[in-house]
């Protein structure tokens, strides 16, 4: 995992603690609970026309993220992680020296910590946003989206969009291959049209 992503996730209590934790970077990994969000945010123009993104995860989507974090913690514990640092500061990290071969998912100390994590207030969790998609949806009719199935903007001639924004909805998985495929298709369509 990239240093900037991991360092961001180490909770700050004080300078010394942060430096000590950061020194452990070479022994750490950082896992993301990536949610396919059900609910949406919005993009709206400022007075000067520049776009502003407004997005607050809904209670439903936050619960999906939290369930993912709990699942990741269980996987890491069973695989032998000696310390688990959660993305909420109200929950202390969980430490264990028990060898992986002797661990069970229902070990009492771990179970208590997992219950804390399940009940934690995730409105205070450190969340990041990635893989934005679908802000200029491809649609069958102009009422339902921004571009047609060839990537052409419905109500404007000679304007095409060929990126993640034309996804009809969030893919829920890493998007790059799909973006490349859609862009390739739209580009070929434009080239054919130019002939």
Ligand X SMILES: Cc1cc2nc3c(=O)[nH]c(=O)nc-3n(C[C@H](O)[C@H](O)[C@H](O)COP(=O)(O)OP(=O)(O)OC[C@H]3O[C@@H](n4cnc5c(N)ncnc54)[C@H](O)[C@@H]3O)c2cc1C
- 179 contacts ligand X (rule: CB under 6 A): yes
In this chain, which of 54, 176, 191, 192 binds ligand X, going by CB under 6 A?
176
Nearer to ligand X, 146 or 164 (CB): 164
For residue 53, which phi and psi values (nearest 5 degrees)? -95, 130
- 185 contacts ligand X (rule: CB under 6 A): no
- 40 contacts ligand X (rule: CB under 6 A): no
Go through the chain and tell me how many residues it has: 195
Stretch that binds ligand X, among 43-51, 121-129, 173-181, 185-193 (CB under 6 A): 173-181
Stretch that binds ligand X, among 8-16, 23-31, 35-43, 171-179 (CB under 6 A): 171-179
Q: Helices 59-78 and 108-119: crossing angle, nearest 10°?
A: 160
CB 28 within 8 A of CB 21: no
3-state secondary structure of 94: strand
Least distance from C-beta 177 to ligand X, angstroms?
6
Nearer to ligand X, 50 or 108 (CB): 50
For residue 102, which phi and psi values (nearest 5 degrees)? -105, 10
Shortest CA distance to 129 belongs to which of 18, 54, 27? 54
In this chain, which of 86, 145, 151, 175 binds ligand X, going by CB under 6 A?
175
Nearer to ligand X, 83 or 184 (CB): 184
Q: How far is CA 56 from the centre of its chain?
A: 13
């Amino acid at each position: 995992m990239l240093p900037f992503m991991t360092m961001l996730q180490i909770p700050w209590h004080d300078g010394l603690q942060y430096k000590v934790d950061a020194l452990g970077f070479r022994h750490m990994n950082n896992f993301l609970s990536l949610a396919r969000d059900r609910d949406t945010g919005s993009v709206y123009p400022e007075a000067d026309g520049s776009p502003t993104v407004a997005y607050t995860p809904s209670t439903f989507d936050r619960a999906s993220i939290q369930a993912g974090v709990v699942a990741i913690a269980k996987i890491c514990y069973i695989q032998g992680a000696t310390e688990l640092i959660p993305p909420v500061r109200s929950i202390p990290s969980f430490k264990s020296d028990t060898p992986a071969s002797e661990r069970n998912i229902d070990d009492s100390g771990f179970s208590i910590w997992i219950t804390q994590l399940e009940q934690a207030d995730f409105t205070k969790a450190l969340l990041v946003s990635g893989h934005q998609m679908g802000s200029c949806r491809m649609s069958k009719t102009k009422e339902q989206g921004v571009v047609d199935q060839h990537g052409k903007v419905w109500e404007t001639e000679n304007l095409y969009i060929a990126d993640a924004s034309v996804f009809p909805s969030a893919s829920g998985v890493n998007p790059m291959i799909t973006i490349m495929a859609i862009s390739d298709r739209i580009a070929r369509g434009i080239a054919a049209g130019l002939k």
